[in-house]
Amino acid sequence: MVKCSFCERSAVYLSRASNIAYCKKHFLRYFDRKVRKVIRKYGMFRGKEHIIVAVSGGKDSLSLLHYLSRLSEKVSTWKISALLINEGISGYREVTIKDFLKVVNKLGVDYSIASFKEEFGATLDDMVKIGNERGLPYLPCSYCGVFRRYLLNKVAREMGGTVLATAHNLDDMIQTFMMNLLRNNWERIARLGPVSGVIRHPKFVRRVKPFYKIREKETTLYAILNNLYPSFVECPYAQLNVRWIIRRQLNQLEEKNPGIKYSMLNALLTILPLLREKYAEEEFLTCQICGEPSTHTICRACLFRKELGLL
């Protein structure tokens, strides 16, 4: 049995990259210090904040909500609220909403649930069906990503949020990095920093990623140790996304070369200042239809709505 590197207790986690073992007590201390270091280094939160935590009901976002809720107990000028987007994915979202409600009620956190159906007039399942019938060349994740980001920003602002915290972890970041690298989309990569990058618009809520340097396996263990681990249910559309393939390949690389994920994240952080400088003058426009922030005169969400006959 592996012993903790700091005491004689049984280890619950072994970091292969550093070859350090942690018991429950020392893992939670390691996790806390690692997240706090990122929060401080990148100045994620100010003295007075209304932090909206984007929660999907999965292990990462429930862990972030739990962590920030506990941290806010030490900062009286912080308010924590949770925001879940109900895309309307049959057999999936109903389960995660139950897990979400269980945790927010346990923590006593204010929350809001915004739905595609109420905002756009159709669920994601409906959109996929309509898109297929109309022969539109989009995968379900394309609709989901655009409409989720749209609602997260809009509803977080309406909730009075000063900052939106998302549970993107190290694995998420390097997967997104690789996806945009393969697509030669450097402008998107420029926005992958721990704090929302080049976006400046009065209606854009600043975004932060406190788990930026936390491994997915570490958030999983944090959720288990804090009795947060949700029902195991996976989005039925996930395997249609190229992220699925990249995630599997990166995990295989990490298995054979421990620490390669950290190296890839450091590569991203190395080039970010250059990309930020190149795209520093970018100003977001205001969508002529909905009035929300957009890179074009009409935002992507409104373009999708028009193509789907929802506008």
* Predicted pLDDT at 198: 54
* Predicted pLDDT at 197: 57
Instruction: Look up residue 158 and give its two tokens.
Output: 């309406």
* Predicted pLDDT at 161: 97
Q: What is the DSSP letter of 158?
A: H
Q: What pTM did the predictor assign?
A: 0.94
- Cα 283 to Cα 39, 136, 196, distances in angstroms: 26, 30, 13
Report the C-alpha gap between 290 and 297 in whole angstroms: 10
* Predicted pLDDT at 280: 67
Q: Residues in the chain, how many?
A: 311
Q: Mind giving me the DSSP string for 76-90?
A: TTEEEEEEEEE---T
Residue ranges for the chain with pLDDT beneath 50: none
* Predicted pLDDT at 185: 92
Q: Are 170 and 215 in contact (CB under 8 A)?
A: yes
Phi, psi for residue 207 in degrees, rounded to 5: -115, 140
Tell me the domain boundaries of the chain: 1-34, 42-307
* Predicted pLDDT at 200: 74
Q: Which CATH code fits 42-307? A: 3.40.50.620
| pLDDT tens digit sequence for 257-287 | 999 999 999 999 999 999 988 876 567 899 9
